[in-house]
Amino acid sequence: MPDFDHVPLDELAARLGGNLADPEAAFAYGRAALDRFEEEAALPLLAEVARAQPDNAVVWQLIGLLNRALDRHGEAAAALATAAHLAPDDASIAHGRARVALEAGRPASALFEWAGRLAPNDGEVLLGRAAARFAEGRTDLAIDGLDALLVQHPGWLPGHEQIARLRWMTGERGGFARSLERAIATAPGDLSLWRALIILLIHAEQMTEALEVIERGRRFAGPDAAFDANEATAASELGDHARADRLFDRMLEINDMTLVVRHVRHLLRTGRFDQAASRAQPFLTHPEANLLWPYMATIWRLLGDPRADWLMGDPRLVGTIDLAAEIPDLPALAEHLRGLHLATHQHLDQSVRSGTQTDGPLFSRDEPEIRALRAVIVEAVRAHAAQLPPEDRTHPVLGAARPADVRFSGSWSVRLTDRGHHASHTHPMGWYSSALYVALPASIGKGDPHAGWLSVGAPPPELNLALPPIRRIEPAPGRLALFPSIMWHGTVPFEAGERLTVAFDVAPRLVS
């Protein structure tokens, strides 16, 4: 097929409009619209193509994928069902149909079973099947199915990661990564297995266990930079600063962003703010610079650098919008959300403490309550974006395009209970992040006057920096807080009760 990657979308549309029966032109146009975030503009023409080519399964598949990208999962499911009827043995259509059903909150495990029969070695299908089983309340089957696959395919790293996360969400702590230990026993020289196990332990904040695995890994698999980097990280987090210094100093020429961030954390924790600035500064134009900007904001505040105000000082960056009048039945929404909290414990490597978080993209679900909520949120995000300071191409937040079409890179609900809170963290994949308060405990504000409040701008306490928040936000039912995703944010523990929220990340769109 010809390469249409650099052909303007209007030219592709003109070519297709001149011959609606041209399947090659339809495919090129649909794929280009999907790749270039022009789904809304493309759907009317593809609907015309579907009328001209009603038996073309690929056209219906493209219509499904375009609707999925717009979080219109009901329309996506209908289009993909038509595609699957026309091409029942097409594995990619079967997988897309199953994936959309899962994201929409519909039963999907049977659809994944069919996709798996068509593509038995497709890892994404197998992971989706496990996610669908979990979503349907069959957690044991999800875990057992993954475990059986991992016995047959011990080198399947995404499977190890998913089973570890599922076990963690059911409350396992000591043996949550045991599938990797089993795989290592059969292939002790496989560096990738050792790395995966160590990273899971670090994400679980099990630093002592990570150091023990690093020592074993070197014995069986030999020296490797990944062992050094993770040892430095664990040593720093455990307070063995001299050991961390020696290791980080050996790796100054390695320009891996994760390593740079870990080194900056170490330098901040040990009070070397100028060194932290020097380490971070060269990477602020890196594609993954959002990992570093929260630390840079902290460094500039500590050094009294005026760039701290340029970065995070404008009060328009953080906002609250009261949406109680726009969400007519908050108690009904709260009850619906409670039914989506399937895990019994917090997610691995998330900020939640003493609580649970929903799985999958919340705003992709097609229940009326979620569709209505999403529509309200989109308008609130537009309103906040409209009042932001002027565009600044050098600014990590203000350099992004104001979103006419609001897209979400993540959406979920969090339910905190007694002493629940969020550890201070950031969302490097987002542009703006949020908290919408749906239900609050009576203990909010009791004892500690800020109990249950959102703190924005305060770095994690484990860095021992004692910087106060830039802003504190008092929760109220129906109140939406919006703040740049690169800003530190966390909450103060509350004594008792339930704090139920919806959160999301607005996807960044770069100024062209």
What domains are there in the chain, each with its CATH number? 1-136 (1.25.40.10), 315-506 (2.60.120.620)
Residue-wise pLDDT for 474-500, tens only, equals 999 999 999 999 999 998 888 888 999
* DSSP label at residue 318: S
State the DSSP string of 35-84.
Answer: HTT-HHHHHHHHHHHHHHSTT-HHHHHHHHHHHHHTT-HHHHHHHHHHHH
Phi, psi of 52 (to 5 degrees): -80, -30
pLDDT score, position 2: 53
Phi, psi of 490 (to 5 degrees): -160, 180
pLDDT score, position 403: 66
pLDDT score, position 1: 46
Q: Is the pTM of this model over 0.85?
A: yes
Residues of the chain with pLDDT under 70: 1-5, 403, 445, 510-512
CA distance 320 to 136: 35
Instruction: Determine the longest span between alpha carbons in the chain, in angstroms.
Output: 71
| Cβ neighbours for 211, distance < 8 A, ≥ 6 positions apart | 231, 234, 235, 238
pLDDT score, position 17: 77
